[in-house]
Structures are given as structure tokens and as C-alpha cells.
């Protein structure tokens, strides 16, 4: 049996800011080779959790370990294992990328004789060779993010934590950074915090959703919508084909229908319903049979697979 190495383990992790509980007794384990999408609305506790894991501050209670090392007792050793890119990369604008990465490599304890080769390798990986002698403040935001990513990886860490790495980038830059993260993820364990859900679906193999400081979902990316066990439907009828209230009642009474509500936008002369189905069973045959039996004038029936965005909205709506 192949048991994967545990890289990060959080147990009942809690953090207060005064009387405000930013992180509320969360627990999770991250194994070697996982690329985790860490999702949640603003203020959900994502950045606080990542700052605890990177030893920026201690939890109020609970514990977290990185490769068995306590973030509270062994912060210097933990920082050797982790590379961290915060949302606002800590860059010095009057330095060139070469000067900046040389400085970071020295701070990381890399031997002086090894630094030029390290810089060359990481610059190549992050797509920086063409700008290494320009002042950082003259670079586009996309290139500044690349420099920030390079500083997080210069010491070849086993774990990389990225907080909104594509925030504020244009579509082309987003694709470039996304592809870079995918490439890095082949060899590293990654935590990626982002509001871009398509980015998570493309780059991550696991998702954790946090809301009000609590974990509300934790599953492989390709299973999370199936774990929610829901499908959405929209059904549209002609208004002269029956009573709207009676039809809504019959729809709600069908086995497998969890929720029925009027659609927000219905064409004139029609009434439409949005339905939420339980389980994976396709309910379209049942819905069609109901319309035929009751002689309702069915105009349209469609099924929408639940995606990550649907799950996120369901779990984090107030």
C-alpha cells in the first residue's frame, strides 16, 4: 500500500482578532503532490490560515505542523520548507530581479557560489530572462508577480503557498501564471488561494471551501459537485397551459426534487421554474412525463450540471 507523505496537518486551528474569530476550529491534512484550491469569500479566513501555516503569527488555539514540525515551536525550520507569495508581493522597486533574487537567496542561506545558478534556473522557470536587468518598478504587474513567485521558489521549497497570484492581471497574464502554477504543481505541493474558480478547476486536484472561518467543503476537484449531489433544471411552460401555483406544487411533490422557485427572467406569456434535484439521477424524463400527463404546454426543459461556481455560491451564500 502506497501511503503518501503528510506535508501539512492542521488540527482544530483557531485564530481570534480581539473578539472576532477569524478561523474557527478547522482541521485538514495535505499530502505530498496535492495542489489545493483554498476558496472562500473575502473575510472567510483564508489569508489568516495561510499566515499561520507560514509562521507569520501563531494560532490562538489548535495546532499546525509542516512535515511534522510545529509552526509555533519550529518556525525557522518550517520556513525553510515553505515558499510563500502573499497577495501583495514583497518587492523592492529600485532593485532589478537579479539583485532582488540575489538578496532573497542570501537571506535564505543559499551558499554564495550557488546563487547565480539558482537565479538562472528560477528565472528560466518563471519566464524572466528578458527582464532580469530592469528595475522591478518598471515591470508590468504580470512580470512583478513572476518575480514574486521566483522569490517564493528560489530555495527550492517542498511546499508553495500562493495567495491570489493572478489578482489584478489581464487575461493573457492570468493564463501565463496559471500555466506556470500547473507546471510547478507537477513537482511541488501547492496551496492556491484565489477568487477565480475556473483557475481552480484547471490547476487544482483538491478543493477546500471556507466560510465564516469554518470548512464547509473538502473534496477532490472532480468530485466536489458530485458530493453535493445536485443537478439544476429549468422548465418553461406557456401561461395558457395551466395554473402556475398548481404546477409549482406538482413539481415540488416529485420524488428527487429538492427545491422549486420561479425563474428570475421569464418571457412574456410563459412561466418558468428553476429546480434543484437531489442525487445524480436525470429527472428530465420524470418532468416530461408530468407535463404530458397533466397536459401542460411544455416549451423548454434543460438540465445544468452543477459546477464549482454553483457549489461555492450554495455553500457561502448568507
Q: What is the pLDDT of residue 134?
A: 97
Write the CATH number for 279.
Answer: 3.30.70.260
| Parent domain of 277 | 230-316
Q: Please give, one letter per residue, the 3-state secondary structure of 152-188.
A: HHCCCCCEEEEECCCCCCCHHHHHHHHHHHHHHCCCC
Q: What is the pLDDT of residue 19?
A: 93
Residue 135: CB atoms within 10 Å: 15
Write the CATH number for 127.
Answer: 3.40.50.300
pLDDT level of residue 1 (50, 70, 90 thresholds): very low
Helix runs in 82-140, H state only = 97-107, 115-125
Confidence check: pLDDT of 75 > 90: yes
- Give percent of the chain with pLDDT exceeding 90: 56
Asked whether residue 1 is domain-assigned, the answer is no
Q: Are strands 298-305 and 230-238 parallel, antiparallel or unpaired?
A: antiparallel
- Give percent of the chain with pLDDT exceeding 70: 96
Strand order in the sheet with 270-278: 257-262, 270-278, 230-238, 298-305
Could you tell me the three cell numbers for 158? 517542498
The Cα 49–Cα 58 span in angstroms is: 10
Q: What is the pLDDT of residue 84?
A: 94
Q: Are residues 137 and 256 in the same domain?
A: no
Q: Are residues 160 and 49 in the same domain?
A: yes
Query: 159, 189, 222 — which closes off a domain?
Result: 222
Q: What is the pLDDT of residue 290?
A: 92
Q: Is 237 helix (H, G, I), strand (E, B) or coil?
A: strand
Name, in order, each residue with C-beta under 8 angstroms of 228's C-beta and a sequence gap of 6 or more.
Answer: 217, 306, 311, 314
Nearest to 148 by CA among 89, 92, 82: 89
pLDDT level of residue 306 (50, 70, 90 thresholds): low
Name, in order, each residue with C-beta under 8 angstroms of 270's C-beta and a sequence gap of 6 or more.
Answer: 236, 237, 238, 239, 299
> Can you say whether residue 12 is alpha, beta or left, with left for phi > 0 and alpha for psi between -120 and 50 degrees?
left
Confidence check: pLDDT of 85 > 70: yes
Query: 222, 256, 271 — which closes off a domain?
Result: 222
Q: What is the pLDDT of residue 227?
A: 58
Express each pLDDT in 194-238 by its tens digit: 887 888 888 898 999 999 999 999 988 877 766 555 678 889 998
Q: Are residues 161 and 129 in the same domain?
A: yes
Q: Are residues 153 and 260 in the same domain?
A: no
Taken in order 204, 208, 210, 213, the sign of the CA dihedral is negative
Mean pLDDT for all residues in the chain: 88
Number of domains the chain is built from: 2
Query: Averaged over 56-65, what is the pLDDT?
Result: 93
Q: Is 59 helix (H, G, I), strand (E, B) or coil?
A: coil
Express each pLDDT in 231-278 by its tens digit: 788 899 988 867 888 899 999 999 989 889 988 777 888 889 989 887
Q: Are residues 16 and 46 in the same domain?
A: yes
- Lowest mean pLDDT segment, chosen from 4-18, 119-133, 258-272: 258-272
The Cα 189–Cα 7 span in angstroms is: 8
Higher pLDDT among residues 172 and 207, named by residue? 207
Nearest to 232 by CA among 301, 318, 315: 301
Q: What is the pLDDT of residue 312?
A: 76
Higher pLDDT among residues 281 and 151, named by residue? 151
pLDDT level of residue 17 (50, 70, 90 thresholds): very high
Q: Residue-wise over 136-158: b if at least 16 C-beta within 10 A, else e?
A: beebeebbbbbbbbbbbbbbebb
Amino acid at each position: 500500500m502506497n501511503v503518501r507523505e503528510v506535508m501539512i496537518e492542521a488540527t482544530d486551528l483557531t485564530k481570534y482578532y480581539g473578539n472576532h474569530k477569524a478561523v474557527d476550529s478547522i482541521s485538514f491534512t495535505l499530502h505530498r503532490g496535492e495542489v489545493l484550491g483554498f476558496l472562500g469569500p473575502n473575510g472567510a479566513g483564508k489569508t489568516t490560515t495561510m499566515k499561520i501555516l507560514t509562521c507569520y503569527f501563531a494560532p490562538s488555539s489548535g495546532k499546525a505542523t509542516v512535515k511534522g514540525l510545529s509552526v509555533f515551536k519550529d518556525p525557522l525550520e518550517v520556513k525553510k520548507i515553505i515558499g510563500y507569495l502573499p497577495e501583495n508581493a514583497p518587492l523592492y522597486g529600485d532593485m532589478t530581479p537579479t539583485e532582488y533574487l540575489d538578496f532573497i537567496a542570501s537571506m535564505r542561506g543559499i551558499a554564495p557560489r550557488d546563487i547565480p545558478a539558482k537565479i538562472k534556473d528560477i528565472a528560466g522557470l518563471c519566464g524572466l530572462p528578458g527582464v532580469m536587468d530592469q528595475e522591478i518598478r518598471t515591470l508590468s504587474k504580470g512580470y512583478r508577480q513572476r518575480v514574486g513567485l521566483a522569490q517564493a521558489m528560489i530555495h527550492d521549497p517542498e511546499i508553495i503557498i500562493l495567495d491570489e497570484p493572478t489578482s489584478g492581471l489581464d487575461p493573457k497574464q492570468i493564463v501565463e501564471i496559471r500555466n506556470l502554477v500547473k507546471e510547478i504543481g507537477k513537482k511541488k505541493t501547492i496551496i492556491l488561494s484565489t477568487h477565480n474558480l475556473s483557475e481552480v478547476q484547471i490547476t487544482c486536484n483538491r478543493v477546500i471551501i471556507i466560510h465564516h472561518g469554518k470548512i464547509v467543503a473538502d473534496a477532490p476537484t472532480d468530485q466536489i459537485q458530485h458530493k453535493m449531489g445536485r443537478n439544476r433544471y429549468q422548465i418553461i411552460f406557456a401561461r395558457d397551459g395551466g395554473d402556475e401555483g398548481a404546477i409549482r406544487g406538482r413539481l415540488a411533490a416529485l420524488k428527487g426534487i429538492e427545491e422549486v422557485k420561479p425563474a428570475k427572467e421569464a418571457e412574456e406569456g410563459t412561466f418558468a421554474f428553476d429546480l434543484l434535484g437531489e442525487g445524480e439521477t436525470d429527472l428530465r424524463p420524470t418532468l416530461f412525463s408530468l407535463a404530458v400527463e397533466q397536459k401542460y404546454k411544455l416549451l423548454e426543459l434543460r438540465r445544468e450540471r452543477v459546477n464549482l461556481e454553483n457549489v461555492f455560491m450554495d455553500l457561502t451564500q448568507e
